[in-house]
Structure 1
Amino acid sequence: MTDNNAIRLSLSRIAAGAPDRPCETPLHLTTRVVQATSERQTPQPAIQPASTVFFDNVESLHEAEANPFDVFFYGGMGTPAVSRIETAVAQLELGERAILVSSGSAAVTTALLAFARSGQHLLVVDTVASSTRRFCETVLRGLGVEIEFYDPAIGADIARLLRPDSCAVYMESPGSLSLEMQDVPAIAAAARARGVVTILDNSWGAFGAFRPFDHGVDVVVVSLGKQAAGHADLMLGALVTSHRHAARLKDIAVQLGHVPGALESYLALRGLRSLPLRGERQLRTTIELGRWFSGRADVRRVLCPALPGAPGHELWRRDCRGAAGLLTVAFTTEARDDVIAAINRLVLSRLGFGWGGAESLVLPILEPPPRLFARQPADEFWVRISTGLEEAADLIADWSRALDRSA
């Protein structure tokens, strides 16, 4: 394991079209990203909104039919531009293959449908995003899959829940809204010992902050429209995995019609190029905001694993090299009305869903998320903040004016 996101990669593996070079050079994440997203002659690939592909003769068409996932065959199965971003995503997430799909939700549902089977048992962390939970409770249960939600703090004890008919373990770390860190290496090891596939939503830790394949995960899903692309202007998702599972996932994605858009693919590749710099800035702002909120009398705690002293910080220090710009501020319930009034008075932060863009976002959790474990305490009112690219001092001043006026 190397530190500071450095990893030894052959330049021939990351410079598209470059001649093979036998020597290896230690490259840091920022350099890897630039190299993985650059074309040989231009910075960006062409935008290819193609559906029909022409063939020179029957023989070439027949060859394409025999290998539909490996050649430019039909727009619904991808284009050279899509293949280019898939290669970059796989390299940056340190997987072997990537499959691009139309949204982050599409990546989640494709992964689950690829492995869940009627009559089988699926373990899902209790703190998944609400859209994932709803898909499990409605669509998968409707198809006869037995869903069991587990405590995100379970760690290696997940072995107690694994059964002969368990088809997969689905993780999201940190958890949605409450940002609990899971012991991903312990869970993955227990599942692998029993031959059970592990799936991780790594949107929060994508491309450098957390390396799932170093910790035994089999399949990774990423919402590229969030931190990865970073401009809140597209919907796109990716599945990253080994060669062993790639064909299965690609086949399901194609059958479900999850076709990535040409413009969205272009924007995602362009956004990826600035991810390390944006991520570093947003994390620094997140920590400053977290420390400021922690000092307020109307705040019970700040949920952010990268913040020293916060829940999950030790696991974060052990396993991660960075973090997305997210924190959840747990205000006292007595302050709820004042906090809502303050949010309406904010000037710099916008009110809305999503995260990872240039603008800071605020999302009050007006109703506690439905959970069996890790429930929101009755004496806390949660507000999730996605830090953008504004100066931390300006954001703090804005919050201070809004909250003090509420007092």
Structure 2
Amino acid sequence: MDKKTSGKNYQTDTQLTHVGRYPDQFHGFVNPPVVHASTVLFPDVETMATGNQSYTYGRRGTPTTEALENAITELEGAAGTRLATSGLNAVALACLSCLKTGDHFLIPDTAYGPTRHFADTVLPKMNVEVAYYDPTRATDIKGLFKENTAALFLEAPGSLTFEMQDIHALSAAAKTIDATVLMDNTWASPLYCKPIDLGVDLSIQAGTKYIVGHSDVMLGTIAASEKAWGALDTVYGAMGVHVAPDDVYLALRGLRTLSVRFERHFKNTMSVINWLKDRDEVAAIRYPALESDPGYHLWKRDFSGASGLFAFDFKAGTTKEQSNHFFNSLNLFGLGYSWGGFESLAIPVKLKGIRTTTDIDPDCLSARLHIGLEDPQDLIADLEQALESAFQ
């Protein structure tokens, strides 16, 4: 924050407005400048030899990247933050910062698909043993620990199927063996969940989604606890990661409206879900903020809000043709990956084969929806005509 607000215990909405802004350092301008830089000059060889100045090389940080890192650090309650080129890049950097040859790594069976792909293709080349666990059975986790278990990964809610995890219990268990705890917190962002306060060491965001909020930037963030910060900073520097200043600027701009966008996403989502609950074509809705959801009590305890991403299962007996017809009939919902932007999106989900340690109906066909900022009645009308067209 700027010097007038730094160190004060402000509420989140006030933080979002002021974090990462330093008007006193930039001639009074409200927003930090977009600094395009590679070379940074030194006043003399003595300073060059010691590196004793704020910035030394563009890849190692500029006022632009520092502004976003400081903003995320304050929102997360972290010791420090590093930026990545995407959410997946953030996952990879976080993992590489706490794993070495011979380590054992536990990942929830509901983890984001590209996270699994990284774990299954890259980590074995480092001779890291990867094992998947049931995300809903926190009391069983100690039974999976080995002498070489170095890290425990969390994702809440889980990708596509939205199971919640007991962050408290899992983090506490990992601490008994001094394992590093990582968590993908993209769904809630630091606005609605603060993993580091719950015992997590590395809080990961796909900033591409809600932080940016406008579907036009790829970006990731990794916020670290005191325990994890040094190793993260070392790996970040060694890997030569750098995010373009224009992308960072757009992420800072998106951050300012995160709270008001989230409120609208949640309001619209509940309107759509309350309508879907009564549809004969829908067998179940997967959304932790619903009181009927199995993970509701964990969401209520650890989260202060919910985002616009959820899924629903089509009724038993739905054919692939009917599912495809539904998606192809949508007008306002775009068919596309990612989420968190202002627009509504939909993708088909076939659960068969995506889990290895948990039971799931292999014949269940599902839809994952991201509810955007459109009028919810228009979204409902679009869903209604697509369902009726597919199931007539």
TM-score range for the pair, normalised by the shorter chain length: over 0.9
Check the 8 A contact 2:351/2:364 in 1, yes or no.
no
* Letter in structure 2 aligned against 1:131: P
330-339 or 145-154: which moved more?
A: 330-339
Q: 1:143 deviation in Å?
A: 1.4
Check the 8 A contact 1:174/1:204 in 2, yes or no.
yes
CA distance in 2: counterparts of 1:167 and 1:20, whole angstroms: 36
Within the candidate set 377, 381, 388, 1:393 is matched to: 377
2:88 equivalent to 1:105: yes
Residue in structure 1 matched with residue 31 of structure 2 by the alignment:
44
Residue in structure 2 matched with residue 132 of structure 1 by the alignment:
115
Within the candidate set 219, 236, 240, 1:236 is matched to: 219
2:335 equivalent to 1:351: yes
- The within-5 A match list for 1:97-246 is 97-246=80-229
Residue in structure 2 matched with residue 262 of structure 1 by the alignment:
245
CA distance in 2: counterparts of 1:209 and 1:289, whole angstroms: 21
Residue in structure 1 matched with residue 48 of structure 2 by the alignment:
61
CA distance in 1: counterparts of 2:123 and 2:6, whole angstroms: 46
TM-score, reference length from structure 2: 0.94
User: Compared with structure 1, are the counterparts of its residues 139 and 385 closer, same or farther at alpha carbon in structure 2 (3 Å cutoff)?
Assistant: same
Residue in structure 2 matched with residue 323 of structure 1 by the alignment:
306
Check the 8 A contact 1:37/1:270 in 2, yes or no.
no
Q: 1:171 deviation in Å?
A: 0.9
2:62 equivalent to 1:79: yes
Q: 1:238 deviation in Å?
A: 1.0
* Letter in structure 1 aligned against 2:148: D
* Structure 1 alignment gaps of length 5 or more: 1-13
In the TM superposition, structure 1's runs of 4+ consecutive aligned residues that sit over 4 Å from their partners are none
CA distance in 2: counterparts of 1:102 and 1:378, whole angstroms: 34
Q: 1:327 deviation in Å?
A: 0.6
CA distance in 1: counterparts of 2:95 and 2:162, whole angstroms: 22
Residue in structure 2 matched with residue 380 of structure 1 by the alignment:
364
Check the 8 A contact 1:37/1:272 in 2, yes or no.
no
TM-score, reference length from structure 1: 0.91
CA offsets, 1:288-344, max 9 Å, x none?
A: 222222211121100010122123111111111012211111112533422321221
Residue in structure 1 matched with residue 4 of structure 2 by the alignment:
18
CA distance in 1: counterparts of 2:5 and 2:346, whole angstroms: 48
* Letter in structure 2 aligned against 1:17: K
CA distance in 2: counterparts of 1:165 and 1:159, whole angstroms: 13
Q: 1:392 deviation in Å?
A: 1.4
Q: 1:263 deviation in Å?
A: 0.6
CA distance in 1: counterparts of 2:5 and 2:136, whole angstroms: 48
CA distance in 1: counterparts of 2:342 and 2:32, whole angstroms: 24
Check the 8 A contact 1:290/1:307 in 2, yes or no.
no
Within the candidate set 316, 322, 339, 1:338 is matched to: 322
Residue in structure 2 matched with residue 278 of structure 1 by the alignment:
261
Q: 1:32 deviation in Å?
A: 1.2
CA distance in 1: counterparts of 2:209 and 2:177, whole angstroms: 34
Residue in structure 1 matched with residue 346 of structure 2 by the alignment:
362
How many residue pairs end up in the alignment? Answer: 386
RMSD: 1.7
CA distance in 2: counterparts of 1:207 and 1:119, whole angstroms: 33
